[in-house]
Amino acid sequence: MAQPYRTAYHFQPLKNWMNDPNGPMIYKGIYHLFYQYNPGSALWGNLHWGHSTSTDLINWTIHPPALLPSDPYDINGCWSGSATILQDGTPAMLYTGRDSQDTQLQNLAVPKDPSDPYLVEWIKSPSNPIMTPNEEEKELFRDPSTAWLGPDGIWRVIVGNEREHNGTALLYKSKNFIHWTETERPLHWSNESTMWECPDFFPVSIDSEKGLDTAVIFPGIKHVLKNSAIRSWVDYYTIGTYDHHNDIYTPDEGFVDNEYSGLRLDYGRYYAAKSFFDSAKNRRIIIAWVNESTSPEIDIIKGWSGLQTFPREIWLDRAGKQLVQWPIEEIETLRLNQVEIQNITLEAGSKREISSVTGAQADVEISFSIPLAVLEQAEVLESNSTNPQEIANQSGSSTNTGVGPFGLLVLASNNIEEYTAVFFRIFKQNDKFVVLMGCDQKRSSLGLEYDKTNYGAFLDIDPVTEKLSLRTLIDHSIVESFGGGGKACITTRAYPTLAINDNAHIFVFNNGSQHVEVSSLNAWSLKQAQIN
């Protein structure tokens, strides 16, 4: 009760500061998660690489920090980086160190004992730093990606950068993983973005949901370039073609290479995502940092700051137009007390509680069916209304003039004074229907002031031919929602003062002026995972 915002199944350290996930991987059947960690404070600084392991990506065991700022090239912090599995099957870490002059340098670390599946001890290379920036970019040079081996037997890696005010993925090559040379041309850059952090570059299959190893090259794939844009604080991506002979990545036609209007992995509070290939189950898994919305003063009182998202599987949509994400299947091992509802009408202005579910720790899946006659009553969306977050911010979840908003009220108090709403609204625009997925947190807390921005995303769904599905994971102070089977995701933080622990409730609601049909609803309480 003294820590109502600690999570039950989302990864976090026992205490203190955590940010970016680093070097997630599977090695000898053990999953590893490293992360930016300050062992002495709930505030950013003194960055180490925290380290925890798991056999199921649910329950985690803590180990001593893997990397400590102890050498001239990283004395001011061991910053973010990635894991690469070398040709002999052992892992290597590329990471950014910050020296006493605040220059950012790329470094190498390897396991002291590769036979240890838990990889408790790491050794820094005597060749560090192995990549250095030019003088103009010494503070704009960080976060090396997972490296990949080209068909010529030479390693490649990208490093986040800003060059001439363009977001840039610098490309480096090496024959031995120790001596690296920058190529004449970056892998890719965009003049519609500034500094890129935490770049992630990986292949996806065009005809399968199975994941691929980073080095795979064959005709039936596309490549994804994800960047964390520090100016806008979003993770955006493009999908395109990688020319492995000339080492050039080109986004496909139609993809917007812009941090404000491009596709995002998540349209809420989500940053610094890192993916890895899970060779045990042939899937690609992605994890991201979710920071606090509260003030540093509150974080100090709590004694901790920062969460990681629940691990998601990620793949290319069959249409090839976007990525799809979904919570990994292991979450089902935490499920208890299923509640199932089928084929009910949710009348305009109504709410219905999902009872017998632990409202603070839950997994809810719901599917809505909207008859065409109801869709025809949708509001008209002006042709210049192209920013979904602006629409969600202006209207929220209480408007009642058309089809929606309808969805879920989570972390809700008994009398619904407090709640976080995850909802859909449907509009008409140019003879088509447009689906907005939103998150309204304006009433998420009566007692705390924090960032309560509403979030919104357009969902690539035709409500005439498809049902609208929503899945939401609730865990005390984090809400992760997946619309349209994972085509759009919104993550948010909430700090209720009434709807905490056993006093948290979940409602399905319809604040629109038209009835909607709930085709199916399944909800589960979730058990407490063993985390650190």
Q: Which of 440, 325, 313, 432 shows the shortest CA–CA distance to 383? A: 432
Q: Which amino acid is at 402?
A: G
Establish whether 20 is a catalytic residue. yes
Contact 282/211 with Cβ under 8 angstroms?
yes
291-to-307, 374, 477 alpha-carbon distances in Å: 6, 39, 11
- Residues whose CB is less than 8 angstroms from the CB of residue 492 and which lie 6 or more positions away in sequence, other chains included: 268, 269, 420, 439, 441, 444, 455, 478, 479
Q: Residue 334, SS3?
A: helix
Question: CA–CA separation, 491 vs 439, rounded Å?
Answer: 9
Tokens of 193: 């973005």
Catalytic choice (20, 99, 257, 299): 20
Question: CA–CA separation, 205 vs 186, rounded Å?
Answer: 24
Q: Which amino acid is at 36?
A: Q
138-to-74, 104, 106, 147, 160 alpha-carbon distances in Å: 14, 6, 11, 22, 12
Q: Which of 214, 187, 175 shows the shortest CA–CA distance to 25? A: 214
Active site residues: 20
